[in-house]
Amino acid sequence: MQGRKGGSSTSTAVWKPGRKRLTGWVKYTVSLLSLAFLFYSIYHLDLHLDRLLNMYGPLAKMFSQLLFPPEMEYVQRIGVLKALLETFQIATLASVIGTLLCIPLAWFAAYNMTPSRQILFPLGRFAIGLARSINILIWAILLTHILGFGPLPGTLALMFLTIGFAGKLFSEEIEAIRPGPVEAMRATGAGMIQVMYYGVLPQVRVAWIGITIYNWDSTFRAATIVGYVGAGGIGAYLRETIGFLEYSKTGAIIITIILLVIVSEAISAYVRDKLY
């Protein structure tokens, strides 16, 4: 018996290093190919990297035009203030509706909990993937062509952004739950909704809250730009001031947006601290 054990351990010891060497060669090859592709891309795209050394003059000129001095009186106009409020409303509405839609979509798209792996699982994955695959500005452009200008296409575009981001993370959190509570509830004859509410939701609640708060924060930042293509919010004034080369007004808007983002970060941190 000891000889067999010794033989077994010896064969295992011989096999493992070979596996490690093979894995090391694979990693080395992949790293080398990735590096070669990187240099090939720089050469093929004809990127003039020397321009980076000459950017400081134009960069300083741009900042001097935008920020010295910014025309802060411009953001005190009624129209601009309404646009800032509209940006906040668009982001909040899109986050709330999108998050509510993410809950059933995440349920369907989680392989371990989906009610139907043949129908609802691929549909849920497809919906989340479709929302993720198209950039927020492209959604905004398409929806403004379909629905016209205004906050409605901007809200829908940001809602798709929420579905693509939060929906994927929600479903991944469901797939990472401990199966014990779920199996115990199923053994008692609990239905699908009861299992989801009592067995799954308590395990993912904290993570979902964190994802929701972060999603609202990122959605608010995205809402500042959808108006650039006519989808509502402060972005319309950004486009107007840049188009008329009124950079001091553009700088004032950018500073205001930065301040609002800082405030939203503080609010998010405060809410996370209270909830956790």
pLDDT of 5-45, one tens digit each? 444 444 444 434 444 455 777 888 888 998 999 888 888 88
Number of domains in the chain: 2
CB within 8 Å of 6: residues ≥ 6 apart: none
227 neighbors 87 (Cβ within 8 angstroms): yes
Tell whether 144 and 198 lie within a shared domain.
yes
CA distance 119 to 115: 9
CA distance 256 to 241: 14
Tell whether 133 and 36 lie within a shared domain.
no
Tell whether 9 and 73 lie within a shared domain.
no
Tell whether 192 and 142 lie within a shared domain.
yes
70 neighbors 134 (Cβ within 8 angstroms): no
In the chain, % of residues over pLDDT 90 = 29
CA distance 257 to 234: 9
Tell whether 150 and 92 lie within a shared domain.
yes
Tell whether 104 and 202 lie within a shared domain.
yes
203 neighbors 265 (Cβ within 8 angstroms): no
Looking at the whole model, is its pTM more than 0.95? no
Q: Give residue-wise pLDDT tens across range 43-75.
A: 888 777 777 777 777 777 777 766 677 788 888
In the chain, % of residues over pLDDT 70 = 90
Tell whether 153 and 252 lie within a shared domain.
yes
Tell whether 214 and 118 lie within a shared domain.
yes
User: Residue 108: inside a domain, yes or no?
Assistant: yes
Domain enclosing residue 17, as ranges = 2-47
